[in-house]
């Protein structure tokens, strides 16, 4: 007898939230087994919301990586747009993944928790970077403290970078997703973002990683040309900065820094695309782009997410 419900699977939306630098994008990439979201040892690396679909025999999770949330977003249009991007996914989430760093809890975490309280949705607290703890015995009292803060659905310690316990995270989260008859996405479907977008992001990652503290936040990347011909992809991109001095920094002495950024970017793009890549980079000054709503739109910062296919 075919009992109704026998073939049900779990599927739904999970939004990954947390302050900058806790490892949200690293976690998304690890779970998808592919680099989709750029990472760096700097806050504000992730500027856009990125959807990745995790497909399993018994379910499907649409995972939304978000920019880190800032308590003091300030007046800059860019910062406000980052907070909006991070928070607007919450309303359609079935489960929220709230990521913190093992052994740490600060004001920004409190601020996020207050926001989550209002959502009244299952919150799985992810305690990341457990590989960095010098003494694992300290983890237990820390986890006990967290339990008193909020009725988290689960608390799961993981290492997104080294890979530890992330399978359990998926298991415990699946059972809080709606039961459905069919997978919402084709099993081959990986992301809502197109190659041009991911290409611009990969270039921005190399800039983030190559420059010091100040300039990376003042840069944006647009793709001017993207052409695939047998075994070769020709890409032309512009790196936008806010001031002349920043342009000089990005280019470096005798163009050395720009060359290094270009060759690192080309290398990871060749991995991503599976073709040879010919990459041309230009650096241009656009004063005040972080406050220019139309330019931000061009960078796709305001686009609504959770697309249904």
Ligand X SMILES: Nc1nc2c(ncn2[C@@H]2O[C@H](COP(=O)(O)OP(=O)(O)O)[C@@H](O)[C@H]2O)c(=O)[nH]1
Task: State the residues that interact with Mg ion by CB under 5 A.
Answer: 24-25, 46
159 binds, among Mg ion, ligand X, none (CB under 5 to 8 A by kind): ligand X
Please identify which residue in 52, 59, 68, 122 interacts with ligand X, judged by CB under 6 A: 68
Tell me the residue number closest to Mg ion, measured at CB: 46
160 binds, among Mg ion, ligand X, none (CB under 5 to 8 A by kind): ligand X
DSSP 260-298: HHHHHHHHHHHHHHSSEEEEEEEEEE-TTGGG-HHHHHH
Q: How far apart are CA 190 and CA 34, in angstroms?
A: 9
Q: How crowded is residue 23: how many other Cβ atoms within 10 Å of its Cβ?
A: 22
C-beta closer to Mg ion: residue 62 or 258: 62
290 binds, among ligand X, Mg ion, none (CB under 5 to 8 A by kind): none
The distance of closest approach from Cβ of residue 46 to Mg ion in the complex, given in angstroms and rounded to an integer, is 3
Q: The tokens of 126 are what?
A: 């992810």
Give the count of residues interacting with ligand X (CB under 6 A). 21
C-beta closer to Mg ion: residue 85 or 239: 85
Q: How far apart are CA 168 and CA 183, in angstroms?
A: 21
State the DSSP H helix or E strand holding residue 114, giving kind and residue range, or none if neither.
helix 107-119
C-beta closer to ligand X: residue 12 or 18: 18
Q: How far apart are CA 144 and CA 296, in angstroms?
A: 42
Residues 104-133 contacting ligand X, CB under 6 A: 128-129, 131-132
Q: How far apart are CA 157 and CA 27, in angstroms?
A: 12
Q: Classify residue 59 by burial, with Cβ atoms within 10 Å: 0-12, 13-18, 19+.
A: buried
Please identify which residue in 11, 12, 14, 46 interacts with ligand X, judged by CB under 6 A: 46
Q: What is the CA radius of gyration of the chain?
A: 20
Tell me the residue number closest to ligand X, measured at CB: 23
210 binds ligand X (CB under 6 A): no
C-beta closer to ligand X: residue 23 or 52: 23
Q: The tokens of 279 are what?
A: 């990459």
Residues 6-45 contacting ligand X, CB under 6 A: 18, 20-26, 39-41, 45
Residues 137-156 contacting ligand X, CB under 6 A: none
Q: How far is CA 289 from CA 75, 180, 306, in A?
A: 14, 44, 27
The distance of closest approach from Cβ of residue 21 to Mg ion in the complex, given in angstroms and rounded to an integer, is 8
The distance of closest approach from Cβ of residue 251 to ligand X in the complex, given in angstroms and rounded to an integer, is 25
> 253 Cβ partners below 8 Å, 6+ apart?
none
Q: Which residues of this chain interact with ligand X, rule CB under 6 A?
A: 18, 20-26, 39-41, 45-46, 68, 128-129, 131-132, 159-161
């Amino acid at each position: 007898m075919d009992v109704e419900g026998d073939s049900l699977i779990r599927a739904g939306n999970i939004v990954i939230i947390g302050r900058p630098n806790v490892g949200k994008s690293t976690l998304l990439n690890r779970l998808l087994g592919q680099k989709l979201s750029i990472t760096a040892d700097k806050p504000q690396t992730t500027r856009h919301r990125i959807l990745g679909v995790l497909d399993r025999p018994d379910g499907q999770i649409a995972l939304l990586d978000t920019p880190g949330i800032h308590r003091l977003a300030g007046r800059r249009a860019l910062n406000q747009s980052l907070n909006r991007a991070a928070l607007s996914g919450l309303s359609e989430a079935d489960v929220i993944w709230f990521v913190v760093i093992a052994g740490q809890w600060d004001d920004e975490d409190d601020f996020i928790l207050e926001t989550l309280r209002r959502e009244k949705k299952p919150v799985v607290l992810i305690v990341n970077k457990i590989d960095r703890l010098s003494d694992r015995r300290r983890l237990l009292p820390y986890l006990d403290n967290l339990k008193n803060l909020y009725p988290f659905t689960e608390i799961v310690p993981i290492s997104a970078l080294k890979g530890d316990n992330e399978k359990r995270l998926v298991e415990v989260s699946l059972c809080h997703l709606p039961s459905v008859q069919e997978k919402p996405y084709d099993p081959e479907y990986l992301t809502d973002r197109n190659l041009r977008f991911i290409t611009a992001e990969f270039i921005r990652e190399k800039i983030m990683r190559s420059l010091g503290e100040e300039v990376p936040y003042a840069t944006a990347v647009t793709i001017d040309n993207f052409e695939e011909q047998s075994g070769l992809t020709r890409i032309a991109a512009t790196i936008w900065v806010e001031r002349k001095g920043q342009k000089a920094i990005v280019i470096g002495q005798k163009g050395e820094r720009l060359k290094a950024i270009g060759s690192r970017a080309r290398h990871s793009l060749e991995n991503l695309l599976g073709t040879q890549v010919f990459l041309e980079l230009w650096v241009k000054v656009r004063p005040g782009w972080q406050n220019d709503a139309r330019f931000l739109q061009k960078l796709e910062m305001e686009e609504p997410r959770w697309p249904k296919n």
